[in-house]
A and B are shown apart, each in its own frame.
Chain A
Amino acid sequence: MEFLINWLSNVPQSAVPFALAALGLIVCERSGVLNLGAEGYLLVGANAGAGAMLTTGSPMFAFVLAALAGGALSLLFALLVINLRMNQVISGLTIVFFAQGLTSLIAARNGWTSRSFSGLDQLDFGLLTDIPVLGPILFNQDAIVYLTVALFAGAVFVFKRTEIGLQIRAVGENPAAADSTGVSVSLYRYLAVVSGAMLIGLAGGYLSVGVSKIWVDDMAGGRGWIAIALMIFARWQFWPALAGAVLFGCIEALIPRVAAVGLQVPQYFVLMLPYVATLCAMVWVSLDRTRHSGVPAALGEPYVREERR
């Protein structure tokens, strides 16, 4: 029982990076832009967050900077895929490569590598926190955990109830039709790409500031790719993505605890777990052919208007 509480109370922390990254990805891809750069945005976010913590020590500033770093990198991506109509697969991979090089260069030049710093405090809800079992799991987390849930609710609201959300969905499903009604395809795609990347940057910031409290090169460790699989798994829908993220949070929080259960599995096989689980999740989703995959109709297609002379 104690093991269970200990494990589950660590789940939200492990789930947040997956959740925020998947949220950002969905925001971006609903506008029709295929985003394979998630791993890169996670890295620049984590890098900026760690740098801010080491230089100023303010978590608030670190998270703002992490989101801005993700947004800034995505401007380059948006320029490539929206304006220059570059292949979106190659662009996404290039962004990851670029971010890997850039972040380890910045970290090495500033001596940030492997220097630990203080992280975030848990919020205290007084009586609620003292509830047995549920208290430590639900009411003893840091602020970003609750912010994540709020951001999901906000995104659902924007996409379902506001003009902006409608336009983003329109340019993702049928850009030509949206264009003919006077909606600027480029503008809304820029908006979606940059705000999505800011969310992923924030996820990265949480990874370094909230979870590991240290910067090491390539610390995103494939979470960006898992988040992409999560988005496919959730059929580009917000709440299922959050549920999937919690599931992966459970798996990740289990990894350091496998030995405690008494299972004698070689450690590197335990570390394979998230990737194997992701593959299994993808297989499971694809076996269910009855439901629509939910992929935005114009995903991956650069929008080219019939141009006039």
Chain B
Amino acid sequence: MPDSAVARSHRSLLSRINLEIREHAPVPQQVALLAAGLLLGLLVSALILVSVGVSVSALLNEFVISIVTSSRSMGNVLDRAAPLVIVGLSAAIAFKTRFWNIGIEGQVIFGAIGATLVANADIGPPELRLFTMGAAAMLAGMIWIALPLYLRLRLRINEIISTLLMNYIALNFLLHLLYGPWKDPVTAFPNSKIYEHVERLGSTGWLNISTSVAIAMVFVVIVAWIFAASRFGFLMKFVYANPAMARAIGVNVAVLTILAVLASGALSGLAGFAISAGIDNRMTQSFFVGYGFSGILIGFLARNNPIAVVFFAFLISALMVAGQSLQIFYQIPFSIVQLIQATIVICVAASEFLIRHRIRFVR
């Protein structure tokens, strides 16, 4: 049908909406649209909170004022942001090779198990204890992602489902340890015995910044360098854009995927260490709750950009800390945090639609 005929057939309508796909929206416009989506998400979230009975002034107080003015709240936000940054990086690295690592939660659990194993058995000299724990956590995270990785590369088994199933297996293994061999010998509560002082990630002694935050920042720099400047990162861009093409011009896609996915598992494991040694000082039943999904959402929101990961991790962390005080002071279940995160992602995704499409009203 020629264009004129289409135009004629629509003449009766006053105007119609036409969608055009655009490859490259101007960057300032992209940022503006994303920011608008983010704001909309926060606004909707605020409406949800008000609807469950939080007053507007309380909302401002918990989310903005107390975090900005109280150094303790700020410290809490930073401490929680550290593992979130690390899981966000983990998601970003895996996504860059088109491997959906939905099993971050399981790897976080195994990371903490690895670190706690070292702490319980007092492996290595005390001066190197934290280092050993971190290395064990990374190794455990890698081990936990190795099977889905193998299954995907060898048997083409969908990694979304296999990594997710591994989460449930990891959780049951954790519960087995905490209700069985690793139960706290002093209190008989289902958590591991408290870490000794040499096994805790304390403050760096500089501006009250904790060691876990410092570790997270180091990995942000490393990952940013890998993505932006290394040969590995360059090849990853190739694989992300078009795996078949990358293979055709001689990039070893399998090796690249293996390296990226193992790095992702290692980072998730490290996040488990950062939570157990940086926040709780022991391994508990639910220390990992939400970190897996949050990591995926942070990676998505940040569009796999390590610097943006820091921003969104900070945002989600503030949300988690505020969610905790809402739980204590307003009896609002902590799950509201999940609801808000999902709302933000939905709104940002809606704004992405406007970045990728131009809407025209045609007469």
Q: Which residues of A contact B (CB under 8 A)?
A: 36, 76, 80, 84-87, 89-91, 93-98, 100-102, 104-105, 108-109, 217, 221-222, 225-226, 228-229, 232, 266-269, 271-272, 275-276, 278-279, 282-283, 286-287, 304, 307-309
Contacts and interface: CB of A to CB of B under 8 A. Distances in A.
A93 B353 CA distance: 18
A90 B155 CA distance: 24
B165 to A, nearest CB: 5
B169 A283 contact: no
Contacts of B19: 307
Interface of B: 3, 6, 18-21, 52, 100, 102, 151, 155-158, 160-162, 164-166, 168-169, 172-173, 175-176, 179-180, 293, 296-297, 300, 332-333, 335-343, 345-346, 349-350, 352-353, 356, 360, 362
A98 B342 contact: yes
Contacts of A85: 353, 356
Given A101-B342, A105-B52, A275 B169 contact: yes
B350 A84 contact: yes
A180 B191 CA distance: 61
Contact of B336 (A90, A105, A226): A105
B18 A105 contact: no
Contact of B353 (A84, A109, A226): A84
Instruction: Tell me what chain A mostly uses at the interface: helix, strand, loop, or mixed.
Output: helix
A36 B161 CA distance: 9
Given A105-B339, A217-B335, A222-B168, A94 B297 contact: yes
10 closest A-B pairs by CB? A101-B339, A101-B338, A268-B176, A98-B342, A104-B335, A286-B155, A108-B333, A84-B353, A86-B349, A268-B172
Nearest to A34: B160
Given A93-B102, A279-B165, A308-B6, A98 B339 contact: yes
27 contacts: A36-B160, A80-B350, A84-B352, A86-B349, A87-B349, A90-B297, A90-B300, A93-B102, A96-B293, A97-B338, A97-B341, A222-B165, A225-B168, A226-B165, A268-B175, A269-B172, A275-B165, A275-B172, A276-B165, A282-B158, A283-B155, A283-B157, A286-B156, A287-B155, A304-B21, A307-B21, A309-B360
B349 A229 contact: no
B142 to A, nearest CB: 18
Nearest to A308: B6
A266 B176 contact: yes
Given A94-B342, A98-B339, A104-B335, A282 B161 contact: yes
Contacts of B356: 85
A40 to B, nearest CB: 9
A114 B337 CA distance: 22
B135 to A, nearest CB: 27
Given A225-B164, A225-B165, A76 B346 contact: yes
Nearest to A306: B21
A278 B165 contact: yes
Instruction: Tell me what chain B mostly uses at the interface: helix, strand, loop, or mixed.
Output: helix
A268 B346 contact: no
B353 A232 contact: no
A19 to B, nearest CB: 18
Contacts of B335: 100-101, 104-105, 108, 217
A85 B19 CA distance: 12
Contacts of B342: 94-95, 97-98, 101
Contacts of B350: 80, 84, 86
A256 to B, nearest CB: 15
A101 B337 contact: yes
A268 B179 contact: yes
Contacts of B341: 97, 101
A90 B349 contact: yes
Contacts of B296: 90, 93
Contacts of A102: 339
B100 A89 contact: yes
B18 A308 contact: yes
Given A90-B300, A97-B342, A104 B333 contact: yes
